[in-house]
Amino acid sequence: MKIKTFLDLCSGIGGGRLDIEKAGLKSIGYSDTSKLAVCTYTL
């Protein structure tokens, strides 16, 4: 079985990622231009 993955672009603080992961996909990375958003995302 293949694991479905996604790249979280314009990730913000990661709220969208949570729902996508609940649907069974796995995040392989993220990107955002805001240093504060990246700091929050990685908590």
What is the tens place of the pLDDT at every residue in 2-43?
Answer: 889 999 888 888 888 889 999 999 989 888 888 888 888 777
**Residue 42, pLDDT score:** 77
Six token digits for residue 18: 């949570």
Q: Which residues contact 6 (CB under 8 A, 6 or more apart)?
A: 20, 25, 26, 27, 28
**Residue 20, pLDDT score:** 92
Whole-angstrom distance, CA of residue 2 vs CA of residue 21: 15
> In degrees rounded to 5, what are phi and psi of residue 9?
-90, 150
